[in-house]
Amino acid sequence: GAFVFIIFTLWFIFKNIKWVLMPLVGCLTSVIVMIGLLGLIGWKVTVISSNFIALMLILNMAMNIHVTVRFLQLKKEFPNLSKKEAVLEASQKMMLPILYTVLTTIFAFLSLIFSGIKPIIDFGWMMTLGLIVSLFVTFLLLPCLLNNFSSENEINIKDTEKSIITSALGSFAKRYKLLIFLITGIIIFASFFGISKLEVENSFINYFDKKTEIYKGMKKIDEDLGGTTPLNIIIKFPAKKSTNEKDDEFSEWEEENDQDSNKAKYWFTRDKMNKIIKVHDYLESLPEVGKVLSFGSILRVAEDLNKKELQSLEIAVLYSKIPEEIKKEIISPYISVEKDEARISIRVKDSLENLRRNDLIKKINSDLNIKLNLEKEEYKLTGVLILFNNLLQSLFKSQILTLGIVMLGIFLMFFILFRNVTLSFIGIVPNFIAAFFILGIIGFMNIPLDMMTITIAAITIGIAVDNSIHYIYRFKEEFDKIKDYNQTLDRCHQTVGIAILNTSITIVFGFSILVLSNFIPTIYFGFFTGVAMLLAMISVLTLLPKLLLVYKPFGDGTKSL
């Protein structure tokens, strides 16, 4: 889908089959080389990192469009330049900004390695390697293609003409200072309000479309077979103060059964059984819980057969008489005499629409302590549900902290590139607004963050900052010649602004193609990243130039605003 869309996008931009094929060949070469490298080194692809192909196509296409558009603009501005000279000049002028855009994007993807989750770490490293491959292919293959396959009479194409959209955004940026800052303030406030409502959730069944066989199968398990995701409650019983103390009802039985361990003889007290049954019944009463299995289930079967409540001596005798093979199958999974523990196994109905796993875990922990009067040391929750919940909670915290690292890292890269603190702040503002705004939208829509959507902010910043670098780099270059902020803004919006518009459209719709997936996190990832990139483009072509006009980071100029 991404591949077909890119063909249509290139045709829309360039209206010439050669200009479609040359960037496309560059993209495909990057992807094929990357897949070959992964195969050679035996690097396995996961459900998360499998998106690297679509991302590489989209990001590499953006690089190719920037180089191609710059080549076309040079040929239009300087008709006397030979094709070879124009290719060399375009490559030289675009090398530094594209290098820095690649570095900032790599920095964003590398932030994923701090998640501590292997599939996400692999995704970060995989995209880092993919971006390096794309950089080399862009500046080794694409210039060769431009030099050998472009014709002089096909150079002056529609893409080099004025753009109505960039002109309108440029005029808006120059005229409406208060309105731009007011809208920005509202977006920032709404973003932080939405972010405050964010929550993380892991629902494997809801990762898939309802029409898929995976969803239907898990729904069937939930409704008819007692639930999907396992959760275990371990009840820990306090050890007996003195093993020499014996209950009267055990004394006669003890003499006849010396072969059994002393601990087993005294372990099965009615108090312990009542505690197990009490917890069992509580868990069974929860609407989110399906099947509940424990020693209490076996005890109730025995009591139904005997038509009376079994006492300690009877339970202990029953335990001793059960053959070891059967004991291993039906008793040992739920009772550990040696460790003084009982295990209650439950399965959670994963398909419930309003299920919040973290809230359910907190409720069970709280109720066992408050309602059932168990000390916190007497029970512990374990199992797959706990593992996934802890995974997402830790990922959420690490990614929020990582955003600070990404912000600092990109600010330092801006400072190294432009040697200007004010300019560095101006460069990162539009991109962080876009990233925070998309997180705010997710919060407002009550969409829980999962392993895919939680990475959107860092990735959005890394990709969106590319436009800021290209715009500021070109603005500085043009301002050194024109020495007027207004004229420089107009010039940038009709040159690099067109490239930013075209690449942003490619990225936005390229990510949006992911909505065709049957994997819900991939749909969210594609849609929200696309929306964030659209907002980032608008910010770069409105808020960014307005900040440049207001703060004048390049000096006043001869004819400043």
SS3 403: helix
CA angle 173, 177, 179 (to 5 degrees): 100
> For the chain, what is the total number of helices (H) and then of strands (E)?
23, 5
Phi-psi region of 235 (alpha: psi -120 to 50; beta: other; left: phi over 0): beta
pLDDT tens digit sequence for 184-229: 999 999 999 998 888 777 677 777 878 888 888 888 988 888 888 8
CA dist list (Å): 505 to 62, 181, 187:
10, 25, 22
User: Which contacts qualify for 211-219: CB closer than 8 Å, 24 or more apart?
Assistant: 211/518, 212/518, 218/350, 218/351, 219/351
pLDDT at 254: 47
A 10 A CB-CB count for 8 gives 11
pLDDT at 196: 87
Cβ–Cβ < 8 Å for 414, 123: no
Torsion angles phi and psi, residue 373, rounded to 5: 60, 35
Structure tokens at 465: 């900052």
pLDDT at 158: 46
pLDDT at 407: 79
Cβ–Cβ < 8 Å for 40, 64: no
pLDDT at 250: 46
3-class SS shares of the chain: helix, strand, coil, % to 5: 75, 5, 20
**380: enclosing H helix or E strand:** strand 379-382
Distance between CA 32 and CA 35 in Å, rounded?
Answer: 5
Phi-psi region of 419 (alpha: psi -120 to 50; beta: other; left: phi over 0): left
488 residue type, one letter:
T
pLDDT tens digit sequence for 293-317: 999 888 888 888 888 888 888 888 8
Nearest Cα to 379, choosing from 370, 389, 390? 370
User: Which contacts qualify for 181-186: CB closer than 8 Å, 24 or more apart?
Assistant: 181/546, 184/433, 184/543
pLDDT at 248: 47
**pLDDT values of the chain reduced to their tens digit, one per residue, 561 residues:** 767 777 887 787 777 788 888 888 998 999 999 999 999 999 888 877 887 888 888 888 888 888 888 888 888 888 888 888 889 999 998 898 899 889 888 888 887 777 677 887 888 899 999 999 999 999 999 999 988 887 665 554 444 456 788 989 999 999 899 999 999 999 999 999 998 888 777 677 777 878 888 888 888 988 888 888 899 999 998 765 544 444 444 444 444 444 445 566 678 888 888 999 999 999 999 999 999 999 988 888 888 888 888 888 888 887 878 888 888 888 888 988 888 899 999 999 988 877 888 889 999 999 999 999 999 899 999 998 888 888 777 777 766 667 777 778 888 888 888 888 888 889 888 888 888 888 899 889 888 777 677 777 777 777 778 888 889 988 988 898 888 999 999 999 988 888 888 888 878 887 888 888 877 878 888 888 888 889 989 999 999 999 999 998 888 765 433
Positions of E strands within 387-546: none
For 494, residues 6+ apart whose C-beta sits below 8 A from its C-beta are 162, 163, 166, 167
Nearest Cα to 70, choosing from 497, 504, 467? 497
CA dist list (Å): 96 to 91, 126, 267, 478:
9, 23, 74, 16
pLDDT at 128: 92
Distance between CA 452 and CA 519 in Å, rounded?
Answer: 10
pLDDT at 56: 87
CA 56 and chain centroid, separation: 17
Positions of E strands within 195-331: 229-236, 289-293
Pairing status of strand 341-348 against strand 335-336: antiparallel
pLDDT at 161: 52
pLDDT at 260: 47
Distance between CA 240 and CA 165 in Å, rounded?
Answer: 80
| Site of tokens 């059994």 | 260
Distance between CA 139 and CA 95 in Å, rounded?
Answer: 8
DSSP characters over 499-522: HHHHHHHHHHHHHHGGGGSSBHHH
